[in-house]
Amino acid sequence: MAKVRTQFICQNCGTVHSRWAGKCDGCGEWNTIVEEDPMGGIGSGPGKVPKKGRAVTLTSLSGEIEEAPRIHTGISELDRATGGGFVRGSAVLIGGDPGIGKSTLLMQAAAALSRRGHRIIYVSGEEAVAQVRLRAQRLDAASTDVLLAAETNVEDILATIGEGKRPDLVIIDSIQTLWSDTADSAPGTVTQVRTGVQAMIRFAKQTGAAMVLVGHVTKEGQIAGPRVVEHMVDAVLYFEGDRGHHYRILRTVKNRFGPTDEIGVFEMSDRGLREVSNPSELFLGERNEKAPGAAVFAGIEGTRPVLVEVQALVAPTSLGTPRRAVVGWDSSRLAMILAVLEAHCGVRLGQHDVYLNVAGGYRIGEPAADMAVASALVSSLAGLALPADCVYFGEVSLSGAIRPVAHTAQRLKEAEKLGFSAAILPAGSADMPKGNGGRWTEIDSLPDLVARIAGSRGALRPAEDD
Ligand code: TYD
Ligand code: MG
């Protein structure tokens, strides 16, 4: 038999190295590489005698399609994020920072499903039975028939959940606590986590139970993060939020059975997570309409319009290199907008610090936010507040042109619903609703937008004249 070679695996991204290094070449993280024994578990290599392969029947692409059988939790924000409920026989990974509310969400889901007559098993590897019971009491879940186990050994868990009637849903909280006798590495390492997750997925596929796996996102890399198993599961959801805010967003990043751009919005309260069915109201809740530098962006998340405030602060810098700080948006995208403003609109920002923030701890991924960002920046620089009842959306190209974006009608409808009577949007949008009545202003270039916000009063002049 070949000599056993140990491997050095990055606990953050799973890259295998032949020797230890301080920094992982794969993901650039420091101190995440740990020595692991590759024997046992996944990637155990050609240690065993290879069995003779069995031919499977090849089939065609056309044929009967079955709708994925789902179990609905009745928590509509959760069902929306999963694409209509948990799919039987599938494995879902729910990742997120520690303390963000994963266990809370899943306990509430378990209770809701149990009330609907499903058999739910909650396996907690992190908290003792008493702790889980305490949380269940707080969440009004204690009187339900959710079955609870505090266990971390993969073989024991499999024996437990395999016993008796098949469960409809199994929750494993969390994958980082799983350890198997078949893998030699320490609990929490990539090998252990992968081995455990693979065993759970196999159980789900064999029995038809839905499997929910909780994974902590770890910055330190002492334990393997959810990334290392993302490719193995059917769906990946991330539970995000700012600790300072009480909103929590469940975002779908991969889904083999549904759309991947949906979000579920929750609010953390003292009695658990509360669904937020109209996120716009929440994100616009604390607006100061008279302050310069705030623009409302009419965005789309999946199938749902979301209105959110973009805040900018542009102030003269005291540093040699001005600061650019962004929260909730892509910083390279901000750099692009600043460059276009300088090159095509004569807005000089080289001597200014620029801070950009998306209200409510929300994160915008859409390029359609360009126009709202540009408006907020110009408004702050000019010291002029934007009209309080106006929304902005549209993509800015490097030439300074404003490009149309999708879902115009939906964005405008949501804006109207929330009392925004005006909008500034790209010219030539495909699905413009009829009956504009002059409230919506179509714009085709960024200089035009800048002139509308600041130009008429010459508010940007002094900066140019220096
Ligand atoms: P938890 O679900 O334990 O987080 P995770 O499993 O992602 O690590 O949630 C922990 C936080 O949520 C904790 O700081 C307390 C807070 N919380 C509430 O505010 N209200 C509640 O009803 C519950 C159960 C928790
Ligand atoms: Mg937890």
The full DSSP string for 51-85 is PPP-PPPP--S-S--PPPPEE--S-HHHHHHHTSS
Average pLDDT, stretch 409-419? 88
Do both 75 and 194 map to the same domain?
yes
Which value, in Å, is the radius of gyration of the alpha carbons in the chain?
26
Rounded Cα–Cα distance for residues 448 and 260 (Å) = 36
Q: How far is the CA of 264 from the centre of ligand 2 (A)?
A: 19
Predicted local confidence at residue 456, as pLDDT: 55
98 lines ligand 1 (CB under 6 A): yes
Q: Residue 103 to residues 25, 239, 295, 450: CA-CA distances in angstroms?
A: 33, 11, 36, 47
> Can you tell me the distance from the alpha carbon of 26 to that of 15, in angstroms, rounded to the nearest whole number?
6
Decide: helix, strand or coil at residue 313: strand
102 lines ligand 1 (CB under 6 A): yes
Torsion of CA 202, 125, 37, 206, to 10 degrees: -10
Q: How far apart are CA 272 and CA 136, in angstroms?
A: 10
Residue 56 lies in a domain: no
DSSP 30: B
How many domains does the chain fold into? 3
d(CA 281, CA 276): 9
Give the integer Cα–Cα distance in Å for 369 and 460.
22
Domain membership of residue 49 (yes or no) is no
| Mean pLDDT (the chain, rounded) | 87
**Cα(427) to centroid of ligand 1, in Å?**
46
Beta-bridge partners for 111: none
pLDDT band at 284, cuts 50/70/90?
confident
Asked if 244 and 332 sit in the same domain, the reply is no
End-to-end CA distance of the chain, in Å? 78
Tell me: pLDDT of 450 over 60: yes
Domain shared by 160 and 201, yes or no:
yes
Boundaries of domain holding 16:
7-39
CB 283 within 8 A of CB 360: yes
- Ligand 1 centroid distance, CA of 142 (Å): 16
Which of 95, 447, 104, 435 has the alpha carbon at shortest distance from 268? 104
Residue 235 CA to residue 90 CA, distance in Å, equals: 8
Distance CA 154, CA 175 (A): 10
Residue 188: what pLDDT? 84
132 φ/ψ angles, rounded to the nearest 5 degrees: -65, -40
Token pair, residue 453, equals: 């916000």
Q: What is the CATH number of the domain that holds 157?
A: 3.40.50.300
Regarding the beta carbon of 104 and ligand 1, being less than 6 Å apart is answered yes
Judge contact between 395 and 426, C-beta under 8 A: yes
Span 200-227, pLDDT tens digits: 999 999 999 999 999 988 766 556 777 8
Predicted pLDDT of residue 355: 96
User: 107 and 23: one domain?
Assistant: no
The pLDDT value given to residue 393? 96
Ligand 1 pocket test target in 104, 122, 217, 273 with most atoms within 8 Å of CB: 104
Retrieve residue 117's tokens: 């007559």
Q: Is residue 127 part of a domain?
A: yes
Residues with CB under 5 A from ligand 2 (ion): 103
Please check whether residues 403 and 447 belong to one and the same domain.
yes
Residue 464: which pLDDT band, with cuts at 50, 70 and 90?
very low
Residue to probe by mutation, ligand 1, list 268, 270, 271, 275, most atoms within 8 Å of CB: 268
Q: Is the distance from CB of 338 to CB of 354 less than 8 angstroms? A: yes
* pTM, two decimal places: 0.77
CATH code: domain of residue 419: 3.30.230.10
Instruction: Report the pLDDT value the prediction gives residue 29, as an integer from 0 to 100.
Output: 82
